[in-house]
Structure 1
């Protein structure tokens, strides 16, 4: 693989996604926070600070998820449907470079979105005189980026072999189940059926454990107490490795497709 060609593809994806006015999401996020900071004191006079902290991170995660899935599933599928993929693969670009460039470009967009939304979030916290753990919030934002990068890889992997609609539904399904894989294992242990225990254990091993990349509760309720650095590094490494495996699967499937 040539990193130069991947970078060119990633730059084109970044420009294309930004041109589609995807960054308007930043304005939507600011509007959500503005309404929340005005409305919450009237609805929850004693707990509005915690609610606002939680709402800001939850909205950031939801908006990023929408971009990762809806744009990610269409990155490859749109090229296939418009037959522009024939032009691209006819050039000296390998299919692996094509997939990697698409993922890197959308990940860059997500990085810009998260950075911008985090800055807006911190600005509103300052304006509202709300105390907040800066280190925990920044760490939660970084791990949110890793989580969304992983989900982008999921969306691309589904998008290379199925329709955009089905790929979107499957990606949302993986996201929902990935946040509850540890609960699935606990539920299986409560069952007396060996088959159910094996099934839940299999799902845990197969599906991404997205809870390892979710630090929102830490930022809201954990104050400035940060987890063990070794645990953070292990969880970050898990996200990177899982993303790499998903991209490898996407490349394998895409390389076998005939156009």
Structure 2
């Protein structure tokens, strides 16, 4: 009875922090980022036909889906890296950690709230994208695009955990740069592995395999090009890739909790 009560109270504190993050961020960011997304897609609809009339429809769809990823990445970089440092700068961290709250609950609540914001933003942009494509009378594979958008959310969920990890021990600016680096390196980590295999050098192959094992393989969540052509991996492959991203996010959060628990205020 007591253990279940403690568990519910623990989840209640996590939920309270997540709700606070969601409310603050939605109020301050989501509206403006949605408008930014509309501007990007509308600009693509007007400008791209001037460069390539025959393939302009595909280019517009490519731009619309890619913009969802870019705008969502901005949330992870600009918001995620500042979630902990903002509490430190405002001195509210002293009030929070003085309460009967485990620091793990604080970190998990921040990540849950950030993930909810990203999920809401991706959903809003997906609706906007569908509406603009319908207005432009561009046929799109709706199911494939929605699947790709879900994996965009899944990828940014992992990057949110990485942003919180870096934000737990360094400044927001450095954490933002490191998160961007993780995004770019993660999307090319598989290419790095292939480069080592092509070299035929055993030492280089060992190094590239080690880096591939340590770095996140974000290409597993990159289905944008496949979705545009309505060609997706098998359900088994997508499930395995989803489990990989989730497992990596949980590992990153565990490291973030460990570092934040040892931090002195």
Q: Same fold (TM over 0.5)?
A: yes
1:110-189 aligned at under 5 Å gives the runs 110-189=118-197
**1:253 maps to which residue?**
259
The match for 1:41 is: 49
* 4+ residue runs over 6 A deviation: none
Superimposed CA distance per residue, residues 109-143 of structure 1 (whole angstroms, 9 cap, x where no aligned partner): 10110000000101111111111111100100111
Aligned to 1:30: 38
Distance 1:60 1:157 in 2: 24
Q: How far apart in 2 are the matches of 1:43 and 1:123? A: 23
Corresponding residue of 1:238? 244
- Does the aligned pair in 1 maintain the 2:223–2:232 contact within 8 Å? no
Secondary structure, in 3 states, of the residue corresponding to 2:259? helix
Counterparts of 2:202 and 2:93, CA distance in 1:
47
2:116 corresponds to 1:108: yes
Shift of 1:192: 4.6
On the 8 A contact 2:151/2:221 being kept in 1, the answer is: yes
| CA distances 1:156-196 after superposition (whole Å, capped 9, x unpaired) | 00100111111111111111010011110111123354332
State how 1:215-234 maps to structure 2 within 5 Å: 215-221=223-229, 223=230, 225-234=231-240
Residues 186-205 of structure 1 mapped to structure 2, 5 A cutoff: 186-205=194-213
CA drift at 1:6: 0.6
Q: Distance in 2 between matches of 1:21 and 1:142?
A: 20
More deviation in 65-74 or 29-38?
29-38
RMSD: 1.2
CA contact (8 A) 2:30 2:121 kept: no
Corresponding residue SS for 2:169: coil
Q: Greater shift after overlay, 152-161 or 122-131?
A: 122-131
TM-score (norm 1): 0.96
Is residue 45–residue 60 contact of structure 2 (8 Å, CA) maintained in 1? Answer: yes
Check if 1:93 corresponds to 2:121. Answer: no
CA distance in 2, matches of 1:4, 1:246: 23
Unaligned runs of 5+ in 1: none
Offset at residue 106 of structure 1 (A):
0.8
Give the counterpart of 1:210 among 207, 212, 218: 218
Count residues in correspondence. Answer: 257
